[in-house]
Amino acid sequence: MKRLLLLMIPFLLCGCSHDMNRQEIDEVDMIHVLGIDWSGENYTLSALYSIGGGADAESAKVDIIQASGNTVYQAYENLKLKNKKNITLAQTSYYLIGEEAAKNGIDYCLDFLSRDETIKLESFVYITKETDASTVLQDGVENELLINEDLEALSQKQLETLTRNDNTILGLLNEMEQSYSSILIPSLLYDEDSFLIEGYAVFDHLQLYDYLDGTTAMGVNFVKNIVRRCPIYISDTVGLLVSNTKTKLKTNVKKGIITVTIKIDFESFIKEVNTEEDIFTKDKLDELTNSQNNYIKDMIDKAINFSISSNLDIFGIARMIEIQNAKEWATAEPKWSENIQDLNYVFDINSKISKSFMIGNAR
Amino acid sequence: MSQVINSKEIKELFSQSGDVLVRPIHINHKNNIIISVFCVDGLVNSDLLDQTILRPISLDQGLKACMDEKSVLNYLLEGAAYHAFASETNDYELVLKGVMSGMAALLFDQEKKALLFDVRTFDKRSISEPSDEGVMKGAKDAFIEVMRTNTALIRRRIRSEYLVMEQMSVGKVSKTDLSIAYLSNVADMNTVNKLKDSLKNIDIDSISTPSFVEEFIVDNKKSIFPQAMYTQRPDRCCSNISDGRIGLIVDGIPFVYLLPCQLPMLMQSSDDYANNYIISSSLRIIRYLAMIGTILLPAFYIAVTTFQNQMLPVQLALSIQKAKLGVPFSSAIEVLGLLLAFEILIESGLRLPKTVGTAMSILGGLVVGQAAVSAQLVSPAVVVIVALSGIAGFTVPNQDLSSAIRIIRFGFAILASFAGFFGLMVGIILLVTHLCSLDNYGVAYLSPFVDIESMNHKDTLFRFPVKYFKMRPDGIADKNKRKQK
């Protein structure tokens, strides 16, 4: 029996090797960035891949290939047909979704990807604001930009201000399951051969609804407790760097009124002083502390105002109520979209100004 | 019916052997008492033989007064022969065996008896440093090919009255001496008896190489993994004997086997106990990681470059892709071919003299390797992977285990080339199952890792400070399980 089993293993493995994506690494073109656009009739995929391999910047050359289809999957299959070598999404780290494709529905773009076992679930998704993904990629190639490296630098930069990047495929697929909250994906502004993340693209029922500007987006980040550091500027005289933020959201449902308590604790460092006045007195520091609390509150207020005006749950409060007030959620759930505008927000912001790392008084 | 001792027959038996001496000595002409000296030239110390046996026989007046062979025999035994190790026997086989192993016999034909004197001498290597288990801090002596010297080296370190050295001989023709060393107040006697039974059942002509013994004393003969640990170091041998293990010393083999053997033992180095425990533990962990690396690295490379390249970071994937461009072979062929070349290089290095072997390594490793990369026969990445795997394999302290691992990694590479990580996982499952199924003299090969009840992990992955070595290993010692308070 033992021998039979040992003999069977090679045969079984031989059988398996036929359908296990067997392809030599040098026989495939690895797509680094995939752009997805919707033209009103069909989807266009723009794939950016390296020519001749190589990880060093000098030898790395990129090319772009495009194909269209009625669906993203069809476009991908056409892309495969058009390319000389086989292509793979196994090394695709960035997916750019054009504004039109985002308006048509993010689910159409991500469904094919979610079913492909080779993709990296930690790949980042961005929305190209006011333009197509193909335009961004083509411009980049024409201007000899290494877009994949620029995007990598951008995602690294994101982590300087945020504790985590939520715009991964896995993160988005998870968010898509929360039907009561809207999805937020960083929007990419392409201008004069450079990229900039400018706030979030906000989705309503998986379709692009609007964009949040940088300040409002930071307000959302504060509520979501993902801020690592954030510069704030108080009255043109003092610049501070906020860090060590800790946000706790608490929901309370009483007599049908939903109250959301946002408790934020943070520290800040004085980074710049443009005044002759001594700001390191107790009174002045207290005043500065109040000012920075109000500054943060204003940012969050902006986000709340957007939420109320758009009637979208951009903070994921629905999920919070479901967890913290499961019983009340059962009654609130059917008319949740009406409740968003009636949510009662309570702030509890505490902060302190820590050591300013002042080497000497320049003034 | 056994043969009787007779000098004429013995002389006839060895008539064609020039080195065997059967010489008659007249003791008393009047009574015609003639005895014979029977020895092998080169195996006996002729000075000792002359001074302690032949000289007294020629000069002692008391002997001449003896009227018969019996009184001569008794007279010699009672002190006429100036020799400490003398024994009387009428066993023909024993006489032959004794003389063939270097003793001298005085044959008494009428009495059909013989007196055996231990006047052995032969050229032997002096005790030198161990070639395979050298340490910076620690003893520099090593076992040699002479069993008695080896038993003395053990006895010097364990001065306990409980140290037993049971002697046996194995091999129908070679009649090789071997000795089983154990502490009678610690060792499991079932293990001792089982080993003795195994040795008694050896029915071969001669013990000329280690595997002639090894293959008979291990429980799982079909396994590639070593199940009898060997050591050249007396200190290591003694430490294991004091733990309750059994040492097997074979004449002609310059190391001692230690039984029962478990995998963690094979990963321990003598340096582990010479260095600080933190350093030793760190090095031991590195050794375990290197062992896993050497088995899995080639297979992992095949799997990621042929099946699951999404597991590689983008930059690494691109580097490998670039390195592989233009190479006509698949990753699997590249890796297997290079592994084979590596084995050929090792094998040829062993067969050649040391000086040529070094040149051979440089030629094979550097020149041919570089040329193969330049000619795009293999990619540089594969050279790095195989070299890393090969070097990692040499961190395993036990040569037998290292060789087993070298063979196993071929199996893993083949499995990975069929089915990527799925194949790799099949290989891991088969390997772990096999290792778990191994049992060595009643002790699991993976003990104490697989021993649920045992908490004795203080000298496995990590080397704890010596003060924590309170108990002897589980399943090894039968009595006196506590080593220290």
3-class SS string, B384-405: HHHHHHHHHHCCCCCHHHHHHH
pLDDT attached to residue A301: 94
**Residue A237 binned pLDDT confidence (cut-offs 50, 70, 90):** confident
Q: Which residues of B touch A20 (CB under 8 A)?
A: 307, 419-420, 422
Residue with more model confidence, A182 or A143: A182
What is the predicted pLDDT for the residue at A15?
A: 61
Kindly tell me the burial class for residue A81, based on how many C-beta atoms sit within 10 Å of its own C-beta (0-12, 13-18, 19 or more).
Answer: exposed
Domain limits for position A234: 226-353
pTM of the model: 0.81
- Report how far residue A161's alpha carbon sits from residue A232's, in angstroms, rounded to the nearest whole number: 12
pLDDT of A234 > 50? The answer is yes
Cα A182 off chain centre by: 13
pLDDT score for A75: 95
The interface residues of chain B toward chain A in range 180-239, judged by CB-CB distance below 8 A, are none
- State the CATH number of the domain containing residue A323: 3.30.300.210
Q: Are residues A321 and A261 in the same domain?
A: yes
- Based on its alpha-carbon atoms, the radius of gyration of chain B, rounded to whole angstroms, reads 29
Within A110-228, strands assigned E span 124-128, 184-191, 194-204, 207-212
* Residue B425 in contact with partner chain A when CB distance is under 8 A: no
| Dist. CA B407–CA A60, nearest whole Å | 39
pLDDT at A166: 87
**Contact criterion met (CB < 8 Å) for A30 and B316:** no
Over the stretch A28-62, which tens digit does the pLDDT of each residue have? 888 999 999 998 889 999 999 887 655 555 556 78
Query: Residue A25 and residue B310: Cβ atoms within 8 Å?
Result: no
Asked if the Cβ–Cβ distance from A13 to B426 is below 8 Å, we say yes
> What distances in angstroms separate CA A1 from CA A4, A6, B426, one per listed residue?
5, 9, 18
Domain edge (last residue) among A188, A211, A234: A211
Mean pLDDT of A96-122: 91
Residue B448: asked if its preceding bond is cis (omega within 30°), the reply is yes
pLDDT given at position B198: 92
Element (H, E) at B133: none
Q: A-contacting residues of B 260-319, CB under 8 Å? A: 304-310, 312, 314-319
- Considering the domain architecture, whether residues A231 and A345 belong to the same structural domain is answered as yes
Predicted local distance difference test score (pLDDT) of residue A7: 66
Q: Is B378 on the interface with A (CB under 8 A)?
A: no
pLDDT score for A196? 86
Please check whether residue B47 is in contact with residue B55, taking contact to mean a CB–CB distance below 8 angstroms: no
pLDDT value of position A356: 62
For B256-268, how does the pLDDT look when each residue is reduced to its tens digit (9 = 90+)? 999 999 999 999 9
pLDDT in tens, A256-292: 889 999 999 999 998 888 888 888 888 888 999 999 9
- Are the beta carbons of B310 and A91 separated by less than 8 Å? yes
Domain positions in chain B are 7-117, 147-261, 277-440
Which residues on B lie below 8 Å from A146 (Cβ)?
Answer: none
| pLDDT number for residue A50 | 80
Distance from CA of A156 to the nearest CA of B (A): 15
* ipTM of predicted assembly, 2 dp: 0.77
- The tens digit of pLDDT for each residue in B259-293 reads 999 999 999 988 888 889 999 999 999 999 999 99
Which residue in the set A16, A26, A60 is minimally distant from B422, CB to CB? Answer: A16
Domain count along chain A:
2
Q: Same structural domain for residues A307 and A247?
A: yes
Q: Which of A211, A236, A256 is the last residue of a domain?
A: A211
Same domain, A189 and A260: no
> Would residue A292 count as lying in a domain?
yes
- pLDDT above 90 as % of chain A: 45
Mean per-residue pLDDT, B113-131: 85
- pLDDT single digits (tens) B20-33: 999 998 887 777 88
A77 — pLDDT class (breaks 50, 70, 90): very high
Same domain, A45 and A115: yes
A5: nearest CA partner in chain B: B430
Whether B202 has a pLDDT exceeding 80, the answer reads yes
pLDDT higher at B247 or A342: B247
pLDDT value of position A60: 63
The pLDDT of residue B1? 46
Whether A358 is in a domain gets the answer no
pLDDT at res. B430: 92
Return the HEC string of B29-78.
CCCCEEEEEEEECCCECHHHHHHHHHHHHHHCHHHHCCCCHHHHHHHHHH
User: Is A22 at the interface with chain B, CB within 8 A?
Assistant: yes
Residues of chain A with Cβ-Cβ distance to B410 below 8 Å are: none
Q: What is the pLDDT of residues A164-214, one digit of tens each?
A: 888 999 999 998 888 888 999 999 988 777 788 889 999 998 999 999 999
CB contact (8 A) between residue A26 and residue B325: yes
State the nearest Cα–Cα gap between A327 and chain B, in angstroms: 44
B356: CB partners within 8 A, 6+ apart: none
Average pLDDT over residues A4-14: 65
Residue contact B310–A17, C-beta within 8 A: no
One domain, residues A314 and A241: yes
Residue B69 confidence (pLDDT): 85
Distance from CA of B307 to the nearest CA of A (A): 5
Chain A residues inside the 8 Å CB shell of B310: 88, 90-91, 118-120
Estimate the crossing angle of helix A169-177 against helix A106-114, to 10 degrees: 120
Does the distance separating the beta carbons of B322 and A24 come in below 8 Å?
Answer: no
Nearest CA in chain B to A30: B318
Measured between CA atoms, the residue of chain A closest to residue B331 is A24
Chain B residues touching residue A91 (CB < 8 angstroms): 309-310, 312, 314, 317-318
pLDDT at B448: 86
Tens of pLDDT, residue by residue over B347-391, are: 888 777 777 777 777 777 778 888 888 888 889 999 999 999 999
Say if residue B112's pLDDT is above 80: yes
What's the pLDDT score for residue A1?
64
Picking from A94, A159, A161, the residue whose alpha carbon sits closest to that of residue A124 is: A94
Same domain membership, residue A296 and residue A165: no
Nearest CA among A73, A76, A96, A94 for reference residue A86: A76
Q: Write the single-letter amino acid at B305.
A: T
Please answer yes or no on whether B418 and A88 come within 8 Å at the CB atom: no
DSSP-derived secondary structure for B334-399: HHHHHHHHHHHHHHHHHHS-HHHHHHHHIIIIIIIHHHHHHTTSS-HHHHHHHHHHHHHHTT-S-H
- For residues A257 and A193, membership in a common domain is answered with no
CB contact, 8 Å: A14 with chain B? Answer: yes
pLDDT band at B2 (very low <50, low <70, confident <90, very high): low
Considering the domain boundaries, does residue A12 fall inside one? no
Q: Lowest-pLDDT range, A314-318, B65-69, B87-91, B158-162?
A: B65-69
Shared domain check, A54 and A184: yes
| pLDDT of res. B86 | 81
Let me know if residue A194 belongs to a domain. Answer: yes
Q: Which chain B residues touch A13 with a CB distance below 8 Å? A: 415, 418-419, 422-423, 426
Q: Least CA distance to A93: which residue of chain B?
A: B314
Residues of B in contact with A151 (CB under 8 A): none
Q: Do B331 and A90 touch (CB under 8 A)?
A: no
Separation CA A120–CA A123 (nearest Å)? 6
Q: Provide mean pLDDT across the span A94-114.
A: 93
Give which of A22, A24, A119, A152 to mutate to test B binding, by max B Cβ within 10 Å. Answer: A24
Q: Do residues A248 and A188 share a domain?
A: no
Q: Read off φ and ψ for residue B402, nearest 5 degrees.
A: -60, -45
Task: Tell me what the mean pLDDT of segment A3-23 comes to.
Answer: 66
- Tell which residue, A59, A108, A112, A60, has the closest CA to residue A89: A112
B423 chain-A contacts, CB cut-off 8 A: 13, 16
What pLDDT band is residue B403 in, cutting at 50, 70 and 90?
A: very high
| Same-domain check for residues A158 and A282 | no
Chain B residues within an 8 Å CB radius of A17: 418-420
User: Which of chain B's residues have a Cβ under 8 Å away from the Cβ of A52?
Assistant: 322, 325
- Please report the number of interchain residue pairs, chain A to chain B, with beta-carbon separation below 8 angstroms: 93
A216 lies in some domain: no
* Mean pLDDT for all residues in chain B: 88
Q: Give the number of other CB atoms < 10 A from CB of residue A123.
A: 19
> What pLDDT, on a 0 to 100 scale, did the predictor assign at position B38?
93
Note whether A229 contacts B: Cβ–Cβ < 8 A. no
pLDDT at residue A305 in the model:
94
Burial A258-284 (b: 16+ CB within 10 A, else e): bebebebebbbbbeebeeeeebeeeee
Residues A60 and A180 in one domain: yes
Higher pLDDT, B83 or B325: B325
The helix (H) or strand (E) run that includes residue B229 is strand B229-231
Q: Are A201 and A189 in contact (CB under 8 A)?
A: no
